[in-house]
Amino acid sequence: MGRIIHFEITADDPESTARFYADAFGWQSETSPFVPGYHLVDTGDGNGINGAVMSREYRRQPAILWLEVDDIRDSVAAVEAAGGRHDGAVNEIPGQGLVTYVTDPSGTAIGLKQPLH
């Protein structure tokens, strides 16, 4: 629980930013079928994680880490009990699971994902 599984890089122009990472580091990207301005990126083979480049219209923070959790609602409650806050709705990604954002006490956004079991 709480393992980093994904990252998001925000950009004013997500398409050109995704192209930058492809040109600079060889990352492959594809446009999300669910969210406009959201490009899923594959960072390559081997150890590491994949992520996304997304429009800053969704979040302004330059980079966001995503944590896998067993129960998203229990995790939101734990964040709130520890002094953080829930920052958005719990949404379902079809075929993948539940997702939401929380913030730590300093306002840093963190994504939470409860995968399908």
pTM of the model: 0.84
Mean pLDDT by 10 residues, the chain (117 residues): 90 94 92 94 92 94 94 95 95 95 93 92
Set out the domains of the chain in order of their start, with CATH numbers.
Answer: 1-63 (3.10.180.10), 69-117 (3.10.180.10)
3-state secondary structure the chain: CCEEEEEEEEECCHHHHHHHHHHHHCCEEEECCCCCCEEEEECCCCCCCCEEEEECCCCCCCEEEEEECCCHHHHHHHHHHCCCEECCCCEEECCCEEEEEEECCCCCEEEEEEECC
Looking at residue 110, its pLDDT comes to: 94
pLDDT of residue 24: 86
Given this model, what pLDDT does residue 78 score? 95
